[in-house]
Amino acid sequence: MHLILDRINRFMQELKDIDKALQEIKAGQCVIVADEANYFLMFAAPACTSAYVTFMMNECRGQVQIALKKSSPLNSTLNRQTFELNSSLKTGINANDRCHGILRMLDENVVAEDFVSPGFFKVNWISHGAVLVKPGIAEAAYDLARLADYPEGAVFCQLLDDQANSLSKTQVKDFAKNNDMAITDLNDIIEYRLIKEPLVEALNIVNMPTDYGDFRLHVYNVIYDPARGIDLVLTCGKDKFEEDETVLVRVHSEWSIGNIVNRLKNEEGSSLNRAMKQVADEGCGVIVFLRNTPEQAANSGLFTKSKRPTDIWIEDGEVKTLKPQDGMAYGLGAQILRDLGVRKMKLMSNSPASFTGINNYGLEIVEQVNY
């Protein structure tokens, strides 16, 4: 009971921290966002002033970056390069000109010719879903601005000392106190959005008898993108899991061609067959099928010289799929697992590495097992 109360109290405090940060951003002020051992100052892009830019340049010392949604007309031309205003408009050197450059990016009449590259700013293009599909600081800054009713974008900059080292937690607390700024955390933003704005919804559950045993088939939909189709999940033993359970989990990238090839060349069947058998033998577990687009399939191992499996795998500590363009499959898979109640899992994978950033979604890999 005490553990449950502690979790509730901690979560309520996280909500208060987020709400305080949102109130300050909505009022046009700056807040601090923590990402593990790194800290960033951010504000909503439409609230940009030369005073804020000067403060970032003199007090934060990191590179000034901008987070804009991918639907911006500049996306196809500026891409991820650094940029500044064209010299015919401003010099781009002083704080006034840099502020003008940021505000110009938000203008509905902006054109690529207004900017040149390289320059003083780095632009980060944010996918729909932001921090829920990619748990990064740019996505977190954008989400804070959007939740504060500034959907145009955010400006952020890392807090560094005069030797270009990240500030310590104690230094950041003093910095926030001296400048009367709220502090929030990347994980708190993700948790806040998972509660307030989940991206997946369960549509239906049906019985699914198989050669390996009786499963339950769950049908999920991505709320903001109905054209994506559906994602499927097989559960064995139960439909929902308790938070303290350690659940056997396999995340499988749906692609029928790859599954057929695997089955033809392997007497034991495809990797999916093996995963289903292992879950059935365990008596309880989850297999997630993540939908792939034609673009992802075209970039997969079957059409390249590199030998990659046709489902999700791990390489150099990072999650890999059939070349998803924005990490979307990773975030959606994590949300589906959370919706099923999964928090701790035994991950079925034949690669000896671990997921990077899985804890950002409130998930923990207790063990990795071969299948």
Please say if the pLDDT value at position 325 is more than 50.
Answer: no
Lowest-confidence pick of 43-52, 181-190, 218-227, 238-247: 218-227
Q: Which amino acid does the sequence have at 313?
A: W
Q: 46: which DSSP letter?
A: G
Strands 318-320 and 313-315: antiparallel
Q: What is the pTM of this model?
A: 0.66
Sorting pLDDT into bands at 50, 70 and 90, what band is 329?
Answer: low
Q: Which residues of 319-344 are buried (b: 16+ CB within 10 A; e: fewer)?
A: bbbbbbebbbbbbbbbbbbbbbebbb
| Separation in Å, CA 87 to CA 35, 113, 117, 119 | 35, 11, 11, 11
At 70 the pLDDT is: 82
Please say if the pLDDT value at position 364 is more than 80.
Answer: yes
At 30 the pLDDT is: 95
Tens-digit pLDDT profile for residues 9-55: 454 455 567 888 999 999 999 999 998 889 999 999 999 999 999 99
At 264 the pLDDT is: 45
CATH architecture classification, 198-369: 3-Layer(aba) Sandwich (3.40)
Q: Do domains 2-195 and 198-369 have the same CATH topology?
A: no
Map out the domains of the chain as residue ranges: 2-195, 198-369
| Separation in Å, CA 129 to CA 165, 168, 200, 249 | 31, 30, 11, 24
CATH 1.20.1260.10 assigned to 2-195 = no
At 51 the pLDDT is: 94
At 350 the pLDDT is: 80
Tens-digit pLDDT profile for residues 164-199: 899 999 999 999 999 999 999 898 898 888 777 777
Mean of the pLDDT values across residues 249-275? Answer: 63
